[in-house]
Amino acid sequence: MSWLHYRVCFRLLSPLHIGRRGVGNLMRTRPYVPGKVIWAALTARLTRDYLSSSNPQNYKTIGEAIKIKFRFGYLWPSLDGDVPCFPWEHEAFDYTFLGSYVSTALDYGRGAAEEGSLHETEFLAPYTRDEGLPVFLVGDLWVREDSLPDNLKHWQKALERVQLGGERVYGWGRVRLIISQKEKSGQGSTVTGLRWQEQDGEVAIVVPAGRCLLAHALAESLLRDDVSGPIDLLSGWERDNKDPKRIWRLSRVKIAYAPDAKAKRELRLKLNPWGVLCRDAT
């Protein structure tokens, strides 16, 4: 069962917030879309469209199946729907692509803002600041199409209707699929220009010496002389399918190198089901 590679491009239709960390009353956003966000969006869409979304077990069933049959690369902003723009290479990335929205909760009894509720949410904007150019999101995904179960066979149709990131109830994170282009299986080039190949039944990304990782890489699976660069903490809220008394739980924090960390030597790293690089696909 070989992995088929797809190049994907979305047109960003509304503000997109991918939670990073808070600084004072500012909720920062990541300037890219991690693979786990795409996994979650596809899981939700397939479950709601083809199964009963009222049964939480269906989300778990679809999510686990996607983790077996799909691998996701990160999505990066683009001005032309082809070439990704990386924050560390684009001189005015924040000014060009990012915006923020200020809001507060209301105390209707007092007819005033609720004390301490003022906050600002940063977002990736659907249009650039000065020229008003449309913003695209480009990236890669891999799928084992020759063995997809029936509940995953409509995944391309589902991709046309996904919603990404946070603040979705306010209409944020809306995207339109522009391209889902199939390429050869076994090996090839990613949207970001890195080589990929199959290794032990998994997708492996080849990162040349001096190149950025372009995805998080688990620090615990790397040696000290493999990578240099900033460290990031990976965590987030996940649905708890084991404890009926609670719906959400905080996932275990993992230490990882950030996407802009550089390889000190050529690395061949596998993609885990959520698009994180590691020595072993765990």
Write the CATH number for 19.
3.30.70
For residue 282, give every residue at least 6 positions away whose Cβ sits within 8 Å of its Cβ, in sequence order, or none.
Answer: 221, 272
30 and 167 fall within a common domain: yes
End of a domain among 134, 164, 186? 186
**Do residues 79 and 131 share a domain?**
yes
Could you read off the pLDDT of 33-52 as tens digits, one per residue?
999 999 999 999 999 988 86
Q: How far apart are CA 6 and CA 140, in angstroms?
A: 6
Q: Are residues 174 and 109 in the same domain?
A: yes
How many separate domains does the chain show? 2
Same domain? For 137 and 202 the reply is no
- Shared-domain flag, residues 255 and 218: yes
Q: Does 32 lie in the same domain as 117?
A: yes
Percentage of the chain modeled with pLDDT above 90: 63
> Which structural domain, as residue segments, surrounds residue 222?
194-282
Mean pLDDT, rounded, for 170-199 = 90
Domain endpoint, select from 132, 161, 186: 186
CA torsion sign, 148 to 3 to 272 to 73?
negative
Q: 84 pLDDT exceeds 50?
A: yes
190 has pLDDT over 90: yes
171 and 253 inside one domain = no
pTM: 0.89
Distance CA 272, CA 217 (A): 10
**Contacts of 114 by beta carbon, 8 Å cutoff, 6+ apart:** 104, 105, 106, 107
User: Are both 4 and 136 inside the same structural domain?
Assistant: yes
153 shares its domain with 211:
no
Shared domain check, 169 and 97: yes
